[in-house]
Amino acid sequence: MNNCDPLALTTAVNTLAVAVASRLNDEDLDLVAAVFVQLGDTLATIAAQRARCRPEK
């Protein structure tokens, strides 16, 4: 994704969240939210590790 417009990104994420939430009951929404939090945290950990292990130029 090369679009640097933060408004476009936040709007897209918000739209996706509303679409997902509208199709789930409260119990399933809780689980999906927890899964996405864990996914985000794990991706952040991987990104930090890559940045740290990247050879310096």
pLDDT in tens, 15-56: 999 999 999 999 999 999 999 999 999 999 999 999 999 888
Determine the pLDDT at residue 57. 74
Supply the pTM of this predicted model: 0.76
Tokens linked to 47:
């990104």
> DSSP code of 3?
-
End-to-end CA distance of the chain: 24
Three-class SS of residue 10? helix
> What are the backbone angles phi and psi of residue 52, rounded to the nearest 5°?
-75, -35
Cα gap 13→7, rounded to integer Å? 10
* Contact present, 36 and 43 (Cβ < 8 Å): no
